[in-house]
Structure 1
Amino acid sequence: MLGNISLGTYYPGSSLLHRLQARTKLLALFGIAFWMLVALRHRWHFIPFIVALGLLCLGTLLSGISLREMWRRVRFLIFLIIIGSLTTPFARGDDPRALYTIGPLVTSYGSAQSVLLVCWAVLFACLIASLLPVAALSWFKRRRGLLILLLLATVVGFLLVYGPPPAQHFNIGPLIVTYGGVWLLVSVSVALFSLFAFSLLLTMTTSPIALVEGLKMLLSPLRRLKLPVDDFALMALLALRFIPSLLEEVEHLVKAQMARGADPGHGTVRERLQSMAMLFVPLIRSVLRRASELATALEARGYDIEGQQTPLHEAPLGWRDYTVLVFVVAVAVGTLLL
C-alpha cells in the first residue's frame, strides 16, 4: 500500500517530459484543469474528454514511465470511481429527462427471503474459510472485512423483508437513468481521472526541488502584495522531500514490530486498530525528531529565506517548453470550439 503513494516520488529519466522546465509542466497542468472545468459546462460535448484521455496516453508514452507503474498509482482511484458510479446515473442533475428505465421488478417476500438466505449461507461459508489456516484460502483472508460487511448487509436486508406474508408481492424500482446522471458520471469521472493522472506525471517526472523552484517563480509576482511566497515554497519543498522518508520510516517501524512478533496486517478489526495505535506513537516521535534535526541543520548552515535565491534547476524556457504550451492551448481551444 505504501509503495503505491507516488506523491513526492521522482523517477529519474531523460524523456521529453523530464527535459521540460517545471514551470512548463505546472502551466500545462493548470491549463488542463481550466480546460476540464470549462468542458464540464458544455453538456453532451464529449470531444474534450476523449482528447484529454488521448493526451494522457501520449504524455505517458513521452514520459518513459511504464504503463504498469501508472496502473499501480491509479487503480485505487478507478475503484473509487466505480463505487461512485453505482448511484450517479440515477441522479437528476441539470437534465432530469429519463434515458432508460430499469424495472419495476415484481417479486414476493418469500422469494426475497430465500435469495437473502442463500447469499448469507455463501458469505458465512466464505467467512469460515477465511479463518482456516490453509494457504489456498489466503484470498478470503485478505478480504475478511468485505465479507463481514456483506454478511451484515444480507442480515439487514433479510430483516427488512421478514414479517409480511411470503406470498405478498412488492415492487423493486423502477430505477430511472437520467440524461443528467449519465452526463455527470462520464464528465466528472473522466475529468477527475485525467487531472489525477496528469498530476502523477508531473510529480514523477519532476524532482521536488525543481517543482518548488518553478512554483516559486510562477508565484513571484505575489511578492509585491507582501505575500510569503518564499515561506510557502520552503514548506512545500520540505513536505514533498520528506514524504518518501516518512513512508520509509513507517516501513521500518512495521518491520520492527513484525520482528518482535506483531502482525499488523492480520487479526480482528480491534487488533488491527491496536497495531495502528502502537505504530502511531513512535511515528510521531520520529517525525518530531526529524523536524528538530532539520531546523538545526538549516540554522547551522545560515539559511536565510530573505533575499533572492539563485535557482538550481530552472532555466529560461526553451523551444520545447513553448511548443508544449502552444500545443496544449491549441488542443484545449480546438476541442471546445468543435
Structure 2
Amino acid sequence: MSAPAGTRRRRSRFWNMDVLRFVARRLMQAVVVMLLVMIANFVLIKLAPGDMLDVLSGTSDMTAEQIAALRRQFGLDQPVVVQFAKYFLRLAQFDLGYSHQYSDTVLNILLGRLPTTLMLVAFSVLLSIVVGTAMGVIAARNAGRLVDSAISVLVLLFYATPVFIVAIALILCFSVWLGWLPASGLVTVGAGYTGWTHVKDVAAHLVMPVIALCTFYTAIYGRLTRATMLETMHLDFVRTARAKGLSERRVIYGHALRNALLPIVTMAGLQVSSLIGGAVLVETVFGLPGMGRTAFDAIFTRDTNLLLGVMFIASLAVVCVSLVVDFLYILLDPRVELQ
C-alpha cells in the first residue's frame, strides 16, 4: 500500500537536495561558531588576573622557586599563543586537560556533573512549556473574562519574582516549615538507596530546583502563547475549520495551537541556552553538584582547565540546541525558507 499524499510530501520535504544543503550549511556554521567560541573563552580567561598557582601560593608555604618550577611544569610560563595551540590540539582529541583541584581529568569530572545539569534543564524546560502553554491557551480561550485576568496576574507574579527569591521561599515553605522536601543536595547522604527508591529520592531533591528555575519562563510561555493564539484564532484557516463544522477542541489544538508553536520553539531554544549557562544560581542555592556549581568553584580556585571544559561543553550544548531548533522549524512549518 502506498503512503498517503501528505506523508509523501513531508518525506520529500526532508530528503531533497535543498534540505541536505541546508543541513550541511548549518553544520559548517556550527563548526565555525565553536572555533570562535573556543578562542573567545581562552582569551577571556587569560585576560583575567591571576591563575591557579597564584591561588596556591596564597594558601600554602611554597617558595617562589617552587612556584616557578610548577609554572614551567604546567606550561604557564609559555607565550599565550603557544598555550592556545596546545589547548586546541588537546581539544581536537577531546582531551579537556587535568584538574589539579580535583586530582582528576576534566572530562571525568564533567561526565559526573553533567547529568545533574541536564536533568535540571530538561525538566525545567518541559515543565515551563507544558504549564506556560496550557495557561496561555486557557487565557486565550477566555479572553477578557475572570480566568484570563487571574492567569495574567499569576503570570506577572512569576515574571517579576527573581529566581533566588523563589528558591529561598520554596526552601522555607516545603523544607523548613512543612518538612516535605529535602533542602539541598541530589541524594540523601548515607541512605544508600537503589532502584526505584533511588529514583524517587533524586526526584524529591529536584522538585524545588526545577520549580525555581522554570517560573520565569513559564510566565514568558504563558504570555507568548496567549498573544499568538489570539492572533491565530482570527486567521482565515481557523474560520474555515469552524465553518466545516469541526469541534472547538479540534480547531484550538489541531489548527490554532499547532500554527502558534513556532514562537514557542524559538523561546524553548533560547531557554535551554540560557539555563545551561545560568543554572549556577539554582545549583548553588540548592547545593546541586552540577555544571554551574562546578564553574562557580573553578572561578574562585582559578582552575583554568576545568573552567575551559565547562565553557566548552556549555557552548557545544547551546550550538546543538540551535541546530535542533532550526530543524524543528522545517518539521513544524513547511513554508519556512531554507536559507
TM norm structure 2: 0.27
Give the structure with the higher percent helix: 2
Q: TM-score, normalised by structure 1?
A: 0.27
Which gives a bigger RCO, structure 1 or 2 (Cα 8 Å, sep 6+)? 1
